[in-house]
């Protein structure tokens, strides 16, 4: 059955159960796998069993409370703050010296030097952009706090900024770390921090906004996309807020943002019917005084973890939870993950995996600790979700937008690469006519890739029985029953390949077949 047909079937059957807690004694392995898929990036059969053994409430609490050392997967060396500040100050000083020196040079000579310096910086940024992607993917794969990492991805999409405009990988990595530190904490505190985030300032041009020349980009997006949603503010609110957001400047000497009072419009503003001598922090407080802010965020988080078009009753309940907790996110997330609706037929196995989910989950379920060199970055490009490069300020489109003829073929090919071992260098090319963003140009895969441990995936005791082998692998990859015709086709395939002994190569082929089905694209 095509993916779109599967999704449509569940949509038609959708009926809201309500925000009623799921019974603790009904906790199944399938539900534990579902929780790990949605609240994290999936897991191996052993990881699912460990989560299941905790019980439902303890499992949810373990995901919410999980911590890990900030240096568990160290940032790239160039993102270390002390080192980065030296480099940022050097870049600023070089720019000033270049400007002074150009006065004594011919326009042609000055332009030539400028181009050479720009080319050198561009090459460096390309390299660092790819390193930043690898670093974050490694964190997702290795993390002991997977919900925190999943929420970091959520915030990256919500407060979307792109390295292609920001053009400084170091402050994109700092922003990523900011999202991680606030991942399941206070939405209000995070929004205040985003106001002072250098990457956001560059992306939405608040760096250049000053008294008499306010830039409206941040004022508009913080209301429309980040907190309230379209239609819950006026154009005058935006104009007045833009004046409040003037005067913020990034200081490369400290790596922080300061508010330069002489560049700030200190005159009274009227926003949401209130008048005062507001600055940017005041505007954010006014926004969070609006009940719509809690509704907007409750709906957005519901869509990310549960399904699209949340029931108004669910949004109202979760918005009340969020406001009563002063915008702390943990109580809201706990309520979602313990609800009957989260474990209903409407929700389970109905969400199309985003490319990052697909990539990480493949590695976890095949139990591959280290992806082949260049694989993950190449896969992002082919599947249409490149980290640090959302397409615009609204972030990525989700759901069915992940699936088209090219990306389905890419998913098939990428699964095949991970399922088999390689002994020679492979280069995976993007779909024909697909332009590769400059920060996403990939190297060839490593000459050696050992592939999964098929002795673990398919123990010898199962290889003599195609039915038992398929049953075990279905539980590994799908975490629950499949339609009878799907399981039957896998069994028939296994029977057709079985000779005197079921080889690793044949197990790999069966894995690839399962990972290429419409059912596997859902979680």
Interval 387-440: pLDDT, tens: 999 999 999 999 999 999 999 999 999 999 999 866 444 444 555 555 544 444
Task: Please say if the pLDDT value at position 9 is more than 80.
Answer: no
Interval 263-293: pLDDT, tens: 999 999 999 999 999 999 999 999 999 999 9
Angle at 392 between CA 390 and CA 396, to 5 degrees: 50
Share of the chain above pLDDT 90, in %: 72
Taking alpha carbons only, the member of 116, 136, 124, 120 closest to residue 169 is 124
d(CA 303, CA 301): 5
| Whole-number pLDDT of residue 12 | 35
Answer yes or no: are the C-beta atoms of 221 and 189 closer than 8 Å.
no
| Whole-number pLDDT of residue 15 | 62
- Cα–Cα distances (Å) from 424 to 58, 418, 421, 446, in that order, read 46, 14, 10, 8
Model pTM?
0.91
Task: Please say if the pLDDT value at position 299 is more than 80.
Answer: yes
Interval 133-146: pLDDT, tens: 999 999 999 999 99
| Whole-number pLDDT of residue 11 | 42
| Whole-number pLDDT of residue 97 | 67
Interval 102-127: pLDDT, tens: 666 677 776 676 777 778 888 999 99
Average of pLDDT values for 228-238? 98
- Cα–Cα distances (Å) from 261 to 219, 222, 244, 246, 267, in that order, read 19, 22, 11, 9, 12
- Cα–Cα distances (Å) from 19 to 318, 332, 336, in that order, read 9, 11, 8
Average of pLDDT values for 83-96? 80
Task: Please say if the pLDDT value at position 101 is more than 60.
Answer: yes
Interval 143-198: pLDDT, tens: 999 999 999 999 999 999 999 999 999 999 999 999 999 999 999 999 999 999 99
The three-state secondary structure class of 88 is: helix
Residue found by looking up tokens 């400007």 in the block = 99
Residue spans of the domains in the chain: they are 454-521
| Whole-number pLDDT of residue 484 | 85
Interval 35-65: pLDDT, tens: 999 999 999 999 999 999 999 999 999 999 9
- Cα–Cα distances (Å) from 237 to 62, 215, 223, 272, 453, in that order, read 42, 13, 9, 6, 59
């Amino acid at each position: 059955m095509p993916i779109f047909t599967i999704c449509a079937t569940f949509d038609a059957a959708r009926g809201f159960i309500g925000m009623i807690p799921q019974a603790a004694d009904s906790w199944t392995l399938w539900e534990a796998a579902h929780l790990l898929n949605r609240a994290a990036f999936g897991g191996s059969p052993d990881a699912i069993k460990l989560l299941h053994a905790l019980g439902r409430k303890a499992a949810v609490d373990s995901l919410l409370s999980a911590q890990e050392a900030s240096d568990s997967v160290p940032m790239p060396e160039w993102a270390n703050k002390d080192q980065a500040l030296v480099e940022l100050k050097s870049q600023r000083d070089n720019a000033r010296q270049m400007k002074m020196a150009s006065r004594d040079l011919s326009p042609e000579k000055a332009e030539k030097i400028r181009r050479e310096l720009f080319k050198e910086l561009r090459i460096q940024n390309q390299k660092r952009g790819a390193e930043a992607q690898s670093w974050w993917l490694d964190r997702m794969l290795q993390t002991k706090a997977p919900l925190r990492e999943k929420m970091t991805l959520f915030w990256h999409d919500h407060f979307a900024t792109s390295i292609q405009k920001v053009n400084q990988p170091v402050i994109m990595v700092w922003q990523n770390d900011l999202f991680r530190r606030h991942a399941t904490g206070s939405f209000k505190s995070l929004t205040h921090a985003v106001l002072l985030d250098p990457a956001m300032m560059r992306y939405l041009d608040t760096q250049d906004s000053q008294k008499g020349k306010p830039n409206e980009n941040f004022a508009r997006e913080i209301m429309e996309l980040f907190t309230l949603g379209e239609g819950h503010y006026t154009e005058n609110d935006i104009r007045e807020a833009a004046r409040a957001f003037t005067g913020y400047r990034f200081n490369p000497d400290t790596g922080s943002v300061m508010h330069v009072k002489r560049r700030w419009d200190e005159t009274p503003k009227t926003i949401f019917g209130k008048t005062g001598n507001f600055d940017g922090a005041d505007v954010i407080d006014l926004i969070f005084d609006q009940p719509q802010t809690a509704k907007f965020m409750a709906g957005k988080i519901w869509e990310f973890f549960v399904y699209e078009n949340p029931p108004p009753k669910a949004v109202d309940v979760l918005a009340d939870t969020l406001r009563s907790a002063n915008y702390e996110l943990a109580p809201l997330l706990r309520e979602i993950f313990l609800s009957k609706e989260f474990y209903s037929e409407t929700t389970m196995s109905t969400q199309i995996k985003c490319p990052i989910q697909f990539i990480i989950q493949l590695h976890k379920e095949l139990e591959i600790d280290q992806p082949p060199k260049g694989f993950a970055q190449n896969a992002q490009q082919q599947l249409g979700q490149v980290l640090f490069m959302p397409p615009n300020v609204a972030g990525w489109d989700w759901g069915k937008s992940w699936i088209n003829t090219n990306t389905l073929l890419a998913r098939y090919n990428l699964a095949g690469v991970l399922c088999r071992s390689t002994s020679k260098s492979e280069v995976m090319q993007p779909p024909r006519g697909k332009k590769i963003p400059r920060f996403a140009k990939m190297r060839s895969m490593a000459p050696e890739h050992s592939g999964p441990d098929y002795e673990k995936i398919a123990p010898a005791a199962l290889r003599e029985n195609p039915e038992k082998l398929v049953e075990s692998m279905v539980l590994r990859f799908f975490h629950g029953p499949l339609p009878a015709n799907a399981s039957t086709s896998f069994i028939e395939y296994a029977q057709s390949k079985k000779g005197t002994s079921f080889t690793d190569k044949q197990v790999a082929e069966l894995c690839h077949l399962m990972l290429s089905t419409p059912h596997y694209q859902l979680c």
